[in-house]
Structure 1
Amino acid sequence: MSWDQLSAFAQSSPILSLAFVGLTLAVIINETRLRLSGIPVLSPAAATRRMNSDEALVVDVSPAADYAKAHILGSISVPLVDLDPERHKLLAKAKARPVIVVCRAGMSARDAAKKLKKAGFTDVSLLDGGIAGWRQADLPVTKGR
Structure 2
Amino acid sequence: MAKGITFLELVGKARENVPAISSAEAKEKMESNPNTLIIDVQDAKDAGACGLIPSSKNISLGMLPIRADLELPENLRDPDLADRTRPVIITCGAGGQAALGAYILKLMGFEDVSFIEGGTGAWKEAGYKVETPA
TM range (shorter): 0.7 to 0.9
Show structure 1 runs of 5+ residues with no match: 1-26
Paired residue secondary structure (1:80): coil
Paired residue secondary structure (1:50): helix
Q: Indicate the structure whose relative CO is greater, using CA pairs within 8 Å and at least 6 residues apart.
A: 2
Of 11, 20, 26, the residue aligned with 1:47 is 26
Of 103, 108, 116, the residue aligned with 2:97 is 108
Q: TM-score, normalised by structure 1?
A: 0.72
Q: Deviations over 1:17-68 (max 9, x none)?
A: xxxxxxxxxx8x788645422x111111110011111221101000111223
The code of the aligned residue for 2:128 comes to L
For 1:42 and 1:133, how far apart are their aligned partners in 2? Answer: 11
Q: What is the percent sequence identity of the aligned residues?
A: 32
Paired residue secondary structure (1:121): coil
Q: Contact conserved, 2:10 with 2:100, CA < 8 A, in 1?
A: no
Within-5 A mapping of 1:126-141: 126-141=115-130
Report the equivalent of 2:16. Answer: 36
The code of the aligned residue for 1:75 comes to S
Q: Which has the higher helix share?
A: 1
For 2:53 and 2:83, how far apart are their aligned partners in 1? Answer: 18
Paired residue secondary structure (1:74): coil
Q: Deviations over 1:71-117 (max 9, x none)?
A: 00000010011112114323433422110000110011111111111
**Greater Rg over alpha carbons, structure:** 1
The code of the aligned residue for 2:24 comes to A
Q: TM-score, normalised by structure 2?
A: 0.78
What is the RMSD computed on CA atoms of the aligned residues? 2.2
Count of residues in correspondence between the two structures: 118
